[in-house]
Structure 1
Amino acid sequence: MVKFGVIGTNWITDRFLESVKDLKEFELTAVHSRTEEKAEEFARKYNISKTFTDYKDMAKSDTIDAVYIASPNYVHSKQAIVFLNHKKHVLCEKPLASNIKETQAMIDAATKNEVVLMEAMRTTLVPNFKRIQDNLYKLGKVRRYVASYSKYSSRYDAYKEGTVLNAFNPTYSNGSLMDLGVYCIYPLVVLFGEPESIKASGVLLDSGADGSGSILAQYNDMDAVIMHSKMNDSHLPSEIQGEEASMIIHENISTPEYVEIKYKDGSVETISEPHEQEEMYYEGEEFIRLIQQGKKMSTINTLQNSLTTAVIMETARKQIGLIYPAD
């Protein structure tokens, strides 16, 4: 068994715990929240034996072997490094950190302490992403990657009424790029590596956060187009275009549930399969497997892929004038 603590008592933590409940190696033993009341409430809900309001105390405790961090983006690095320095394995929600400097500091701490650090990017760990990788050769020479993730945020309603919630507050290292754009960027990096250059545009809100944006990434012999927004919905699929065929990833790229290849001769091949588990199950499974096998890094959600993604996002932010206090 791997004894887990969780930081954060929000909906994403609930979703993670619901997804991994069938992992027989997973044991939930501790929860951290900023208030004792919330920690106790969450502990009762999940029958957790130990609660903490100071994450440093939790990091020192032998109650846990690993931690799932689902706190606001701007504290990911600070919290993760404390746990890593206490030889605790860290599964940290995306984006891994606010910027390149914080990401590198987390990687350095994990390497120094010989523990697992993995970005909880579910997209690249679900079975259908492996199907995408395994069938990429059928497209011939890839010439373009197009990824779209735009989803109207209910918090944008509050923003328009004058209330700036965390989702649109740059103090928390939040906004469209960090929340949704990362789902488009990370798979690009896993499949094709770091681009030679990028050109970004975006819409900055009065709060200082970005509401939407686009990135054009240039490779030696292909390009990539990324579109993201929290101010409008999009129903466009994502697509990888090759000289022989195109691969269409329907609905949100964050969870590739239905993927097909359309060939030049008009034939169509469905390559996706129904997922047997909840989407976040697979990141928990991968993380636990690494710990139990004594490995220090995923071969898919590698530390280099997380760092490259951070480089792309920080470069894009600088181009559109998006600065976080964490910078």
Structure 2
Amino acid sequence: MRLGIIGTNFITDRLLAAAEHLEDVVPQAVYSRTQEKADEFAEKHGLPSTYTDLEAFAASDEIDAVYIASPNALHHKQALLCMRNGKDVLCEKPIASNYREAEEMFRTAEEEGVVLMEAIKSVLMPGFAQIKSEIHKIGKVRRYVGNYCKFSSRYEAYRKGEVMNAFKRELSNGALMDLGVYGIYPMVDLFGAPTDIKATGVLLDTGVDGEGTAIFNYDEMEAVVSFSKIHNSYAPSEIQGEEGSIIIPDISTPEGMTIKYRDGTEEALQPTLSETSMLGELTEFSYILSVKDSQSQSFVSSPENSLETSRIMEEVRRQIGVVFPADE
């Protein structure tokens, strides 16, 4: 798989670090709006080719698949262009600005016979697979708590009057899109679609959410997801069952989990750790490409999970009052 890259930020650096562990993934080219940035990134990672024309990049016969790590508002347009040129696409979370965009993206993938997969690292790590295999031990689940609140270094700049990309409404950003997805996506994978959603949050002057909380009702349980880029939380995430709870220190990187049983005993969950947290998603994407004649999409980072997560996040935004240009 000759991989083309859209986006030259630290997330892409981490993905290419993961690619070093996979012989069948060959980083080939990078697209950037400026030649200077493209050249700098290509030299840093040893990429043979650079592009500043997105259409030429998407049409290139030296690229088999594309990893998109551009601002959220660009995912839809860039993914459609690449897929319509026959490229398989691994797209960073959140996959799109809203449900409408996500639905068109997956419909296009089906029409073009290519793979589209959301790059949500947490559910493709060994730790999440272990949660799924061990969850039966805690009995009937009654509550899921997904907590990811992390003070952003970019908020420090925001408080000084400089609005960086993380807080720009026109780029479909904010706390829910950046961090809340880490609580919602595993909830959807584990428990499916909720029957009811109630959400509140704090809007910043730019029109994006700085923090928020959403409560999701299910037939026999509830879920609470909290997210923030304007304050820290040191509380873990939990899956609470009638016989015990699974404690997850970091919902975005499920490692070091513990089951605490109702009788006072504890059991450490010790998954085999990956060399890098993004190795799982790239391994899954590479595998799906190798078997796509018989399995067209991922069963874990699946179209169904991504679409339901997009639907939920759009409703949470609606209740908080966050409207993107992509919604209008």
Fold match, TM over 0.5?
yes
Q: Secondary structure at the match of 1:310?
A: helix
After superposition, where does 1:82-121 map in structure 2 within 5 Å?
Answer: 82-121=81-120
**Aligned residue in 2 for 1:289:** 287
**Aligned residue in 2 for 1:44:** 43
**Aligned residue in 2 for 1:299:** 299
User: Contact conserved, 2:73 with 2:172, CA < 8 A, in 1?
Assistant: yes
Cα distance in 1, alignment partners of residues 188 and 268 from structure 2? 24
Match of 2:296, as an amino acid?
K
Q: Deviations over 1:110-166 (max 9, x none)?
A: 010111100000000000101000011111110000010000001111111111111
Determine if the alignment matches structure 1 residue 69 to structure 2 residue 60. no
Cα distance in 1, alignment partners of residues 65 and 271 from structure 2? 31
TM-score (norm 2): 0.98
**Aligned residue in 1 for 2:263:** 265
Distance 1:121 1:263, change over 3 A: same
Q: Deviations over 1:248-285 (max 9, x none)?
A: 111x2000111111111111011232413201011000
Q: Secondary structure at the match of 1:131?
A: helix
- Which ranges of structure 1 fall in alignment gaps of 5 or more residues? none
**Aligned residue in 2 for 1:230:** 229
After superposition, where does 1:24-173 map in structure 2 within 5 Å?
Answer: 24-173=23-172
Q: Deviations over 1:27-74 (max 9, x none)?
A: 011100000111111111122111111221111111110000000000
Match of 2:55, as an amino acid?
K
Distance 1:163 1:305, change over 3 A: same
Alpha-carbon RMSD: 0.8
After superposition, where does 1:202-281 map in structure 2 within 5 Å?
Answer: 202-250=201-249, 252-281=250-279
Cα distance in 1, alignment partners of residues 58 and 227 from structure 2? 35
User: Contact conserved, 2:247 with 2:257, CA < 8 A, in 1?
Assistant: yes
- Which ranges of structure 2 fall in alignment gaps of 5 or more residues? none
Cα distance in 1, alignment partners of residues 279 and 141 from structure 2? 31
Cα distance in 2, alignment partners of residues 179 and 226 from structure 1? 13
Cα distance in 2, alignment partners of residues 34 and 68 from structure 1? 16
User: Contact conserved, 1:77 with 1:106, CA < 8 A, in 2?
Assistant: yes
TM-score (norm 1): 0.98
Cα distance in 2, alignment partners of residues 159 and 80 from structure 1? 30
Cα distance in 1, alignment partners of residues 45 and 275 from structure 2? 20
Matched-pair identity in %: 51
User: Contact conserved, 1:261 with 1:269, CA < 8 A, in 2?
Assistant: yes
User: Contact conserved, 1:257 with 1:274, CA < 8 A, in 2?
Assistant: no
Q: How many residues end up aligned between the 2 structures?
A: 325
Cα distance in 2, alignment partners of residues 183 and 70 from structure 1? 16
Choose 264-273 or 192-201, whichever is displaced more: 264-273
Cα distance in 2, alignment partners of residues 317 and 126 from structure 1? 28
Cα distance in 1, alignment partners of residues 35 and 60 from structure 2? 17
Cα distance in 1, alignment partners of residues 132 and 112 from structure 2? 32
Question: What is the deviation of 1:103?
Answer: 0.3
Cα distance in 1, alignment partners of residues 19 and 214 from structure 2? 34
Match of 2:139, as an amino acid?
G
Question: What is the deviation of 1:16?
Answer: 1.0
Q: Secondary structure at the match of 2:300?
A: coil
Match of 1:273, as an amino acid?
P
**Aligned residue in 2 for 1:323:** 323
User: Contact conserved, 1:139 with 1:247, CA < 8 A, in 2?
Assistant: yes
